[in-house]
Amino acid sequence: MRAGHLLLSRSSLSHLLLIFTLLSTFTAASFVRSRAPSPQRTAGAASRRDLISDTVENILHPVIHFAPTVLGISINNKGLQLDNGTNPNDPVQVSQALQTQPPPIDLGQLLQDITPNYNTSKTLDSACSAIHTALPNNDYVGRVCTTPECIQSTTHYYNARQAGNRPACVTYPTSSQDVVTIMKLLREYDVTYAIKAVGHSTGYNFTTALGFSSTTGILIDMSKMKAVSYDASTGIARWEPGQSWGELATTMAQYGAQVVGGRLGAVGPGLSFGGGISWYSGQVGFASDTTHAFEIVLADGTFIIATQDNQYSDLWWAAKVGMNSFGIITAVHSRTLPGTTTYGGSVIFPTDKMLDVLGAYANWINGGADKCKKGFVLPAITDFFVESLITRLNIFEFFFDGTDPGECFKDFNIINTLYDDRKVQPYPDFLNKALTNQQFVFSGFNNALYSSVTDLINKDQLLAIYNAWEEYSVQTSGAYLQNTLSFSVITKTGLAASQANGGNAMGVSGGDGYLWVCYAEGSIPAIGALMDTKLFGLTPQAAQAVPKSQRKLPLYANYARLEQKPFLTYGGIELLRQIKKKYDPDNFISSHTTGHDFY
Ligand SMILES: Cc1cc2nc3c(=O)[nH]c(=O)nc-3n(C[C@H](O)[C@H](O)[C@H](O)COP(=O)(O)OP(=O)(O)OC[C@H]3O[C@@H](n4cnc5c(N)ncnc54)[C@H](O)[C@@H]3O)c2cc1C
């Protein structure tokens, strides 16, 4: 078998890499010891906890520093390495270096080689052969990649853990009909699968080791489905889900209209199958609330088009947040917004101004955003571990749909900044060039996102969440490469627009608006599980900053880890379950691909 041969011939390398993995676990622990105090750190000092016991670390100490050098890997006990001449104490210089420098290494391939998770079932082989026979234009590559395209498909994930899964084969549909064929064969052979769009999902099941968009079964890579068309008379765009938001925005610009999508150009359409927080959310609600129709292949291989007005209106409603649970979406018809010129850009605030900044943000979430429904403020407060230091980048992205934001951001504009590149610019440029897009798309690390939610809160409560995160960041410094605290406000105007467009199963009324707290971090896969546990522990801690009575809002599935079971927090969960039973009566989808639980 090809996979077996490959493993045999690579066995010595695999062993070496396995040793590296183990050593890097301990190396990470040594980061903590070698970190110098950060001049950026002004608050939240805390006692430091070791990641492993002193005894183990001391025994291994001599080899810890040696191992990464042997393998020539540039992640060592100093964290991210920057170009000579970059001052790691200067957030702006660090920010610029991070934009121009590729990440030190993409660990996806490495992880797949070290700890390949694969399934040698003969049934899977037969299913792969059948798909290849039915769709000869598709690339059949077996369990071992032989083409750059396949390597890209199986190793390039935002969360490198997903790349640990080696699929039995990869198939690249080019049309809805191809997807119908694939779905029927998946069912006939009763095999597992995953759908991959752009691979930015961080969803990962720690028990099964399977990812939301990776699998040991059959990987359906949508990247050859990128068609876009636009009907100027209705303002509706039909687009296929094999492209990133940056690509789609660039194509749509020629029509002078925009599809409401993600806030970073590098992220993909999976976002709008789980709701989707957009720069335009103050105007329209969630990205999926602008969906006029979904083209979708159901669990039994039937192709349908679901709209608000046809016999599949229940599915149209469910698919807005159902992610991969209702079928394979082959195209979306979206109501667009006119205009492609926007005002926006990135700001970095000094840490000693964060009290003022959080005060301005408290005003923004408590009324400011509702007054300025064409605007959006996205905090991405981030500690990078660079050259043995924590370098804090207090990044805030500002967006306004138009050229003049007027008084929208006035509370922020009176605060000194370290960096400010806000300007009038084409929307695709804004999406692709924002600092967060440049710096938060490090594929190949153990990247994780976690969701927490609260009602709208005051400045003191906001500060409590910030302090808890900062304390965590100090305590675990050196074990992560990037650690981010982010907030997204869901406004009254956005919720009202969502309701007006049929609403969705998250089931939040247009009442008061609310706030999602998102934690994101990137670390080395070898220590990922440990960091995951620690960061996950922070989510309830943050929620404790507000009274329990204010915590009955939904978690956000796109940001939640599997164990958080976000669907169970949805107001519309009962109806969602009924619709799921109707369209996937034998639960084929949920028992054959990884996704969020309904029970
Ligand atoms: C850096 C970063 C920034 C982010 N910014 C935002 C943001 O601004 N707003 C927001 O709401 N979320 C945001 N997210 C979360 C994002 O919405 C999810 O990670 C989303 O799943 C990414 O979709 P994808 O297509 O890139 O990923 P993928 O991993 O390819 O797919 C994600 C999920 O969608 C499923 N899927 C993909 N294609 C199909 C299809 N055709 N039919 C059915 N199911 C399918 C996959 O199986 C998988 O479960 C961000 C995430 C990251 C990592």
Ligand 1 center–CA 268 separation, angstroms: 5
Judged against a pLDDT cut of 90, whether residue 93 lies above it is answered with: no
Share of the chain above pLDDT 70, in %: 73
Same domain, 77 and 124: no
Same domain, 435 and 525: yes
Judged against a pLDDT cut of 60, whether residue 169 lies above it is answered with: yes
Ligand 1 center–CA 306 separation, angstroms: 21
Which residue would you say has higher pLDDT here, 97 or 15? 97
Atom 9 of ligand 1: nearest residue by CA position: 277
pLDDT at 79: 66
pLDDT at 94: 80
Judge whether 108 lies within some domain. no
Atom 47 of ligand 1: nearest residue by CA position: 195
Judged against a pLDDT cut of 70, whether residue 447 lies above it is answered with: no
Same domain, 259 and 181: no
Residue 446, both tokens: 């153990």
Task: Single out the residue of 515, 120, 125, 562 nearest to residue 324, CA to CA.
Answer: 562
* Cα(291)–Cα(260) distance, integer angstroms: 9
Ligand 1 center–CA 195 separation, angstroms: 11
In contact, 486 and 542? CB cutoff 8 Å: no
Least confident of 85-94, 263-272, 519-528: 519-528
- C-alpha dihedral sign at 82, 86, 89, 90: negative
Judge whether 74 lies within some domain. yes
To test ligand 1's pocket by mutation, which of 182, 271, 290, 332 has the most ligand atoms within 8 angstroms of CB? 271
Judged against a pLDDT cut of 50, whether residue 72 lies above it is answered with: no
* Cα(523)–Cα(25) distance, integer angstroms: 11
Least confident of 8-12, 262-266, 268-272: 8-12
Please give the tally of structural domains in the chain.
3
Atom 50 of ligand 1: nearest residue by CA position: 267
Ligand 1, pocket residues at CB < 6 Å = 158, 194-203, 212-213, 222, 241, 262-264, 267-271, 273-274, 276-277, 323-324, 328-329, 440-441, 558, 595
CATH number at residue 291: 3.30.465.10
What order do you get walking across the sheet with 218-221 strand by strand? 169-171, 218-221, 193-196
CATH number at residue 210: 3.30.43.10
Same domain, 381 and 485: yes
Judge whether 422 lies within some domain. yes
Same domain, 408 and 368: yes
Which residue would you say has higher pLDDT here, 302 or 85? 302
The mean pLDDT value of the chain amounts to 80
Ligand 1 center–CA 156 separation, angstroms: 14
Same domain, 500 and 370: yes
**Domain edge (last residue) among 206, 221, 236:** 221
Same domain, 325 and 346: no
Judged against a pLDDT cut of 70, whether residue 415 lies above it is answered with: yes
Ligand 1 center–CA 212 separation, angstroms: 9
Task: Single out the residue of 386, 385, 368, 390 nearest to residue 377, CA to CA.
Answer: 368
**Domain edge (last residue) among 159, 186, 221:** 221
* Cα(203)–Cα(212) distance, integer angstroms: 5
In contact, 341 and 258? CB cutoff 8 Å: no
Atom 15 of ligand 1: nearest residue by CA position: 558
pLDDT band at 34 (very low <50, low <70, confident <90, very high): very low
pLDDT at 136: 81
To test ligand 1's pocket by mutation, which of 267, 277, 377 has the most ligand atoms within 8 angstroms of CB? 267
Which residue would you say has higher pLDDT here, 441 or 74? 441
To test ligand 1's pocket by mutation, which of 172, 273, 291, 449 has the most ligand atoms within 8 angstroms of CB? 273
Atom 53 of ligand 1: nearest residue by CA position: 200
Judge whether 597 lies within some domain. no
Judge whether 176 lies within some domain. yes
Residue 508 identity: V
In contact, 440 and 482? CB cutoff 8 Å: yes
pLDDT band at 438 (very low <50, low <70, confident <90, very high): low
pLDDT at 538: 60
Which residue segment(s) compose the domain that 191 sits in? Answer: 115-221
Atom 21 of ligand 1: nearest residue by CA position: 201
CATH number at residue 392: 3.40.462.20
Judge whether 569 lies within some domain. no
Judge whether 254 lies within some domain. yes
pLDDT tens-digit map of 131-142:
999 998 777 766
Ligand 1 center–CA 82 separation, angstroms: 30
Helix axis angle for 54-64 and 11-34, nearest 10°, is 120
pLDDT band at 88 (very low <50, low <70, confident <90, very high): confident
In contact, 396 and 415? CB cutoff 8 Å: no
Same domain, 10 and 95: yes
Ligand 1 center–CA 395 separation, angstroms: 22
Same domain, 3 and 53: yes
**Domain edge (last residue) among 198, 221, 244:** 221
Share of the chain above pLDDT 90, in %: 50
Ligand 1 center–CA 200 separation, angstroms: 5
Ligand 1 center–CA 351 separation, angstroms: 31
Atom 36 of ligand 1: nearest residue by CA position: 270
pLDDT at 23: 36
pLDDT band at 539 (very low <50, low <70, confident <90, very high): low
Same domain, 520 and 400: yes
* Cα(177)–Cα(175) distance, integer angstroms: 5
To test ligand 1's pocket by mutation, which of 98, 397, 504, 558 has the most ligand atoms within 8 angstroms of CB? 558
pLDDT at 464: 84
pLDDT tens-digit map of 329-361:
999 999 999 999 999 999 999 999 999 999 999
Ligand 1 center–CA 271 separation, angstroms: 4
SS3 271: helix
Same domain, 175 and 38: no
Judged against a pLDDT cut of 90, whether residue 452 lies above it is answered with: no
Judge whether 389 lies within some domain. yes
DSSP conformational letter for 549: G
Atom 45 of ligand 1: nearest residue by CA position: 324
- Bridge partners, residue 484, by sequence: 382, 520
Same domain, 516 and 409: yes
